[in-house]
Amino acid sequence: MTRPAPSGLLGDTAARDYAWKLRLFNAYAEPELRQAIASLHLQPGLRVLDAGCGTGEALGWLADAVGRDGLVLGADLARAHTMAARAVAPADALVIQANLAQLPLARASIDLVWSVNTINHLHDPVAGLQGLAALLRPGGRIALGQSSLLPDMYFAWDARLERLVNEAVRQYYRDRYQVSERGLADVRALAGRLRQAGLRNVTARTFMIERLAPLARADEDYLLEVIFRGTWGERLRPYLPTDDYEELARLCDPDQPGYALRRPDFHFLQSFTLVVGGI
């Protein structure tokens, strides 16, 4: 059987499924994501598209903002994600499986496009944004959310190991997806990409996701499963000196006495940046 060709820069296809990771991120970052939505001051009755809606948790938060007279739509490339989104979306929300470059929506039909951690997956972000901008009504906006434009802080007590781990992750992604260092950093250009796509009055605001020990369950689940195991783990062994990899493994192991997420001095910082432009 021939596998479908990737539609996204980072290997996304309609069959790809990382719903577990999206659910954990949304549960962990819900307070800051809701704060970002509130900063948009959405009015009742607006029509909102979540482009790259993932498992759909934001659909309910957006629906709360636009009220009963508003309309919320979600679109995602992956079948598994749209199925998950339909299970949690408000009853009157519409969720479609579609490539963001080929959305079956009418021009000038949307007031706000909300898109989180998605644009960096596109082969041509500017063309993708131009397509989304064509969906906007007069006065409409695109709001791009992106986590980790700044380096995350995991090991406040060991900046050296943290730096080596971050470099190892970047090298892993360069090797796996054949992406250049410049390509990995391109996500930082969100404001410029909006301007290149013809959006005006571009603004940016960064929210800090800050967590201290003792962690809430949703915070520990995300950091352990998505970061310590899903992003780091065995895949980083070839990219770190043996002693550093073994130290990282001990910090990431809940069965070890020095497990990072239960240290009384654990202090975590992650940025979430919202860049908004209008037509």
Quick: pLDDT tens for 155-203: 999 999 999 999 999 999 999 988 888 888 888 999 999 999 999 999 9
> What mean pLDDT is predicted for residues 34-43?
98
Query: What average pLDDT does the segment 51-59 reach?
Result: 98
C-alpha distance from residue 184 to each of 28, 188, 211, 255 (Å): 24, 9, 26, 34
For position 11, what pLDDT does the model report?
55
Return the percentage of the chain with pLDDT > 90, whole number.
89
Count CB-CB contacts under 10 A for residue 106. Answer: 9
Angle CA(227)–CA(52)–CA(122) in degrees, nearest 5? 85
Express each pLDDT in 227-277 by its tens digit: 999 999 999 999 999 999 999 999 999 999 999 999 999 999 999 999 999
- Contact call for residues 24 and 223 (beta carbons, < 8 A): no
- Domain ranges in the chain? 19-278
The alpha carbon of 262 is separated from its chain's Cα centroid by a whole number of angstroms, namely 26
Query: What is the predicted pLDDT for the residue at 108?
Result: 98
Which class in CATH covers the domain with range 19-278? alpha beta
Place of tokens 């969906």: 135
Q: What is the pLDDT of residue 182?
A: 82
pLDDT at 53 over 90: yes
pLDDT, tens digit (0-9, with 9 covering 90-100), for 216-240:
999 999 999 999 999 999 999 999 9
| Pairing assessment for the beta strands 71-76 and 94-97 based on DSSP bridges | parallel
**Mean pLDDT of the chain, nearest integer:** 94
pLDDT at 10 over 80: no
Instruction: Note whether 13 and 6 are within 8 A (CB).
Output: yes
For the record, the structure tokens of 279 come out as 């037509």
